[in-house]
Chain A
Amino acid sequence: SQQGEEDPQALSIQEGENATMNCSYKTSINNLQWYRQNSGRGLVHLILIRSNEREKHSGRLRVTLDTSKKSSSLLITASRAADTASYFCARGDRGAQKLVFGQGTRLTINP
């Protein structure tokens, strides 16, 4: 798929546990971004990782990028009920001048 793959499509965990979402792609990228979307709302930018970076942190978020495997992961540590949302990766393909969103992971945090 041009949009790339995200897995899992849905993830349900208990509050306090860690959540990991994965994003794979087939193109050459400039950067890869992660977004969160609460139900019925717009997307919120979480973190951007450039193609020459391997790992970035922001609060409870950790993003890794492996360009040799063309994959990225988003780790949310110590999850909270408020983290319940859909999470999308979006890649900036070289030369494309636009972002392409993955299919998304629906994360549910159970109290």
Chain B
Amino acid sequence: KAGVTQTPRYLIKTRGQQVTLSCSPISGHRSVSWYQQTPGQGLQFLFEYFSETQRNKGNFPGRFSGRQFSNSRSEMNVSTLELGDSALYLCASSLAGGSGSGETQYFGPGTRLLVL
């Protein structure tokens, strides 16, 4: 079974631009979560989607948004990029989750975003 895939793997943008990252979950998985990883803040939860609905959200500004499609694929968008948005963005999928089920979340390789 194919793992979680993320595209693109690397991105370079300039301040003020916007960016869209894509995540394809493991087949049959319906929950997709996004995390930001930086050296200073570590791994931080952005949001989780299930059945095309945002189910949970972390403490990030409104410039960070996402969506999920009917095939469970998810995208996240960052508008008006800032230097501090440079990070590794990780996507994770699980079967259904919900209510802190403790299901394993499987991570993709990440998209490394550099904002200049």
Do A and B share a complex?
no
| Residues of B bordering A, CB below 8 Å | none
| Residues of A bordering B, CB below 8 Å | none
